[in-house]
Amino acid sequence: MDNIILENISPKYFTPRNVEQSEIWKKNIRFSKGDKHLIVAPSGSGKSTLATAILGTHFQYEGNIKYDQQVVKDLHLEKIVSNRKNGVSLLFQDVRLIKDLNISENILLRVFNEDRKKYIPTMKEYAQRLGIENLLNKKAENCSYGERQRSAIVRSLINPTNFLIYDECFSHLDVNNKQIAFNLIDEVSKQSGSSVIFFELNKFPFEHQYQLLHL
């Protein structure tokens, strides 16, 4: 997958705030592999609705979302799910780690059936950079929300998809840890050629080169 295309989309069952001023709703937008975007919107604007629609978890919208030339609504569920392995991934607001697994087990779920041993050095490096290396053997249910959030960021990067989508993934991090996590995401995405789309309530409090869009 090289492109995600939004064609005149809008939520089916609610009207977002500031829809007339939106740079995305009811517009034609193309996210191409390698692009970097920061989408900013206040609460109630439909950030999570749009993020999950792009992932293909629901079709409660007018218009079309396409993976390259394929309309997502027309794809078989198995094809949508298979796209999440290499095509598009979303780090949800609620993180979604499995509480009974430790942090390293949660992170390595994203390597699927590949040899997990070859990913361990990378996992440790990313965990060290985000300050959670000492948590790798700790159960997710015993970690704070901020620790689980950083763990989920490592999971998203251990075997990155072509499109990495983050829905308020820094909400429980202070500014310093937020910038460290942003720098890691940016660095890994450049190495992998991935596109990154952040959904945030506010602009980042540090400099970056991402294209800003208002939802």
Q: What φ, ψ does residue 2 adopt, rounded to 5°?
A: -115, -15
Signed CA dihedral, 162, 167, 171, 176: sign only: positive
Going by C-alpha positions, the residue among 92, 38, 48, 34 that lies closest to residue 206 is 38
Residue 17 and residue 9: Cα distance in Å, rounded? 15
Sorted by sequence, the CB contacts under 8 Å of residue 199 that are 6+ apart come out as: 39, 41, 47, 48, 50, 51, 165, 166, 167, 168, 215
pTM of the model: 0.94
Residue 205 and residue 209: Cα distance in Å, rounded? 13
C-beta neighbour count of 20 within 10 angstroms: 8
Q: Token pair for residue 102?
A: 């430790």
Find the angle CA(29)-CA(33)-CA(38) to the nearest 5 degrees.
60
**Would you write out the chain's pLDDT as a tens digit for each of its 215 residues?**
999 999 999 999 888 777 888 999 999 999 999 999 999 998 888 999 999 999 999 999 999 999 999 999 999 999 999 999 999 999 998 899 999 999 999 999 999 999 999 999 999 999 999 999 999 999 999 999 999 999 999 999 999 999 999 999 999 999 999 999 999 999 999 999 999 999 999 999 999 999 999 99
Say whether 93 sits in a helix, a strand or coil. Answer: coil
The residue type of 41 is A
